[in-house]
Structure 1
Amino acid sequence: MWLHICLAILLVAGYFLAMRLVSTAIRAVALRQGINELRMILVSKIINLGLTVAFVLLLCVVLGVGYGQLAVFFSSVFAVVGIALFAQWSILSNVTASLIIFFGFPYRVGDWVKVVDKDEEILGQIHEISTFHVIITRVTGDTVTYPNSMILQKAVICYRDEAEAKSHSQLLKSNDEETEKSKD
């Protein structure tokens, strides 16, 4: 009995220590890469949720809950969550992509970028990077919400400034040509 209580106390202490270390590491990455506060908080919440699930599972094992009981409980939970996520697979992939973008995406809010997409010209300034989308204000003034999972699959070109980005815009060139034709 005392062994279970001591292990539970150590597990709780380890959980809080892990939460503090992870939060500190995320804050350090965010400050080093110039990531805004909101994104840092969202990533912290996602990772802390994963740590909490692992903690609850370990605590159940330490307190002596039978493996059979845990298996029935977690298989039921995973079945319900699995069905929900299968119906919304893109949500899960966008959240995962958001974590990858947080730690490894080379572009930041304010950068002028072009997402190489054969169907549409996505050229503009990154306005926001959220949990599900990268929001880009195009050179024409309209706003595009581009899914995180898709931006990881496409090539992204970064420009030094707005003038360079606009010089590469096919939309602006075609608008200028149409304006010249209408003048004639």
Structure 2
Amino acid sequence: MLVQIGLITLLVVAYIIVSRILKSSVTLLGQKKYANEVRITYVSKMLNLGFTAIFVLLVCIVLGIGYGQLAIFFSSVFAVVGVALFAQWSILSNITASLIIFFGFPYRVGDWVKVVDKDDEILGQILEISTFHVIIQRLSNDVVTYPNSLILQKAVVRFESREVAQAMSQFKESGDSENKEEHKNTTP
């Protein structure tokens, strides 16, 4: 019994230390990537939730709860959660994509990008990367919300500036096309 209390105390201390390290690491990474504070908090909470589940599993093992009993409990929980989320699979995939984008997306807020999509040109500046979507302001000042799960599946081109992005656009702004037509008519 004393050994179990000692191991649980050790697990609690390790949990507190690792959760603080995890939170500070995510905060530093978020600040390095210029992520929104709300987004940093969200990612920290999601990772802390997973870490807490691992902690509870370890405490159950230390207390001597059998693997069979744990397997039945967790399979029941996962079955209920799976059925609940099956109808909302796109929400779950966007949340997962949000975590992947936070850690691995090579673009930041303020970057000029083009999402290569055959149906529509999505070219503009990233205004925000949120839990469910990336918000892009087009050259025409329209705002597009693009789902996180889709942006991971498409090719994304990054441009150095607005001018370079504008030059690569298949749709020219009306002012630019009038200036080019005027320039064409005046040149010999």
**TM-score > 0.5 by shorter chain:** yes
Identity across aligned pairs (percent)?
Answer: 63
Which residue is 1:138 aligned to? Answer: 138
Which residue is 2:19 aligned to? Answer: 19
How many residue pairs match? The answer is 179
Residue type at the aligned position of 1:166: Q
Mark the runs of 5 or more structure 1 residues left unpaired by the alignment: none
Q: Does 1:157 align with 2:157?
A: yes
Give CA-to-partner distance per residue, 1:36-55, whole Å, 9 cap, x none.
32221111111001001111
Give CA-to-partner distance per residue, 1:17-58, whole Å, 9 cap, x none.
110111121122122222232221111111001001111111
Whether the 8 Å CA contact 1:93–1:149 is kept in 2: the answer is yes
Whether the 8 Å CA contact 1:109–1:126 is kept in 2: the answer is yes
Q: What's the CA shift for 1:155?
A: 1.0
Which residue is 2:128 aligned to? Answer: 128
Distance 1:172 1:75 in 2: 55
Q: What's the CA shift for 1:74?
A: 1.3
Give 3-state SS (helix, strand or coil) of 1:55's partner.
helix
Q: What's the CA shift for 1:175?
A: 8.9
Give 3-state SS (helix, strand or coil) of 2:164's partner.
helix
Distance 2:16 2:93 in 1: 28
Give CA-to-partner distance per residue, 1:121-141, whole Å, 9 cap, x none.
101110100111111111122
Distance 2:168 2:84 in 1: 42
Write out aligned runs for 1:5-154 (5 A).
5-154=5-154
More deviation, 43-52/86-95 = 86-95
**What TM-score does the superposition give when structure 2 sets the normalisation length?**
0.87
Q: What's the CA shift for 1:148?
A: 1.0
Mark the runs of 5 or more structure 2 residues left unpaired by the alignment: 182-188
Whether the 8 Å CA contact 1:140–1:172 is kept in 2: the answer is no
Moved over 4 A (4+): 173-178
Distance 1:109 1:73 in 2: 42
Residue type at the aligned position of 2:30: A
Q: What's the CA shift for 1:158?
A: 1.1
Distance 2:24 2:160 in 1: 32
Give 3-state SS (helix, strand or coil) of 2:107's partner.
coil
**What TM-score does the superposition give when structure 1 sets the normalisation length?**
0.88
More deviation, 27-36/169-178 = 169-178
Whether the 8 Å CA contact 2:110–2:125 is kept in 1: the answer is yes
Structure 1 or 2, whichever has the larger Rg, is: 2
